[in-house]
Copies of this chain bind each other. A is one copy, B any other.
């Protein structure tokens, strides 16, 4: 096709985890919450009238933004509502990096969420990539090198995916400080609801940082991956710039109502987080007992290196799939010997361990 831009022709599109629809597969591959959303979300959805559907929705999701601002102790002008976190990522790239004049690009430390690279490819923006430390920490001296390069956005997913490691707030502040005046730090907190702390304190005026944007999503913590609703938290200037570039009515009336109900029911959401965190501990221990190497995760998944001398990770993935259980395998550097396993319900987790035992047994002989 001669019609699309060369960078689209060359692009390797983002590959998401498999989404079987057989209703039988145990899905531990895409980090969904194992529990459904609050009953209040279903009520809110059922309560949207034909008259509300007929008319354009509130363009900036004002009511949701007020609710999110209350929950996080910020102001509505510090909040932008988006179609899941993915829209926020694209919007930030569109606004804060530049394929034209000065070639401002993005910085990533890999492995990380692979969509960052894909979005940069669509936008036509350079990618300044380095490797994370062996412990999946940010690279030593990264701040200094960021300060030397034309970086519009540094992307840090925290807790990190796919390792689950949580970076310190002070380290994130150093990264933001190195970019201040030239670029922003985007902290992707897709999984933060399962972690011990958020980078939100970076938005405190007393930190003196005006270049931190925090991504949140309802996909994981609120059991709403199907709803595609996320939001950004940041300095009002960053939010206003993105507000100019978003699609005019980017979130719909049903999603706005559902998202507000979800975020207002913190008690329900927290009860699902607590259950996931408890099971994360159970699973980490159970996998370690079976010879897997599992680091400390602050997310709703664990990254597990398969036992040395057992089945290679790619084959392990395939045999679990044959047994009706999907986990995630990444055929890439640093991850080729590991499986990323979403923490499921106790029943799902037990089924996984049984399937693992069946695979390990012959290998142990």
When C-beta atoms are compared, the residue in chain B nearest to A62 turns out to be B21
Q: What 0/1 readout, one digit per residue, does chain A (241-264) give for beta carbons within 8 Å of chain B? A: 101110111111111001000000
Tell whether A148 is near chain B: CB-to-CB under 8 Å: no
How far in angstroms is the closest Cβ of chain B from A263? 14
Among A25-43, those with CB < 8 Å from B are: 27, 30, 32-37, 39, 41-42
Please pick, from B6, B27, B86, the residue contacting A55 in the complex, using a CB distance under 8 A. B27
Query: Do most interface residues of chain A lie in helix, strand or loop, or is the interface mixed?
Result: loop
- Return chain B residues, CB-CB under 8 Å to A243: 13
Q: Are A32 and B55 in contact (CB under 8 A)?
A: yes
Q: Is the CB of B247 within 8 A of A1?
A: no
Q: How far is the CA of A247 from the CA of B41 in the complex (A)?
A: 24
Tell me whether A232 is interfacial, beta carbon within 8 Å. no
Given A16-B249, A99-B100, A124-B99, verify A2-B53 contact (CB < 8 Å): no
The number of chain A residues with a CB under 8 A from chain B is 90
Contact of A37 among B41, B50, B87, B211 (CB under 8 A): B50
A80 to B2, CA, bound (A): 19
* Given A247-B87, A248-B16, CB of A225 within 8 Å of CB of B55: yes
> Which among B59, B84, B184, B254 is the interface contact of A247 at CB below 8 angstroms?
B84
At the interface, yes or no: A350 with Cβ under 8 Å from chain B? no
List of B residues within 8 angstroms of A14 by Cβ: 248
Give the residues from 5 to 22 in chain A that come closer than 8 angstroms, CB to CB, to chain B. 5-9, 11, 13-14, 16-17, 19, 21
Determine if A248 and B115 form an interchain contact, defined as CB atoms under 8 angstroms apart. yes
| Chain B nearest Cβ from A288, distance in angstroms | 28
Q: Considering residues A19, A228, A229, A251, which has the most beta carbons from chain B within 10 angstroms of its beta carbon?
A: A228
- Beyond A11-B245, A99-B124, A247-B84, whether A59 also contacts B19 by CB under 8 A is yes
Known: A86-B247, A100-B99, A254-B254. A54 touches B226 (CB 8 A): yes
A352 within 8 A of B: no
CB contacts (< 8 Å) of A4 on chain B: these are 95-96, 241
- B3:A238 contact, CB within 8 angstroms: yes
1/0 per position for A224-244, CB-CB distance to B under 8 A? 111111000000011011011
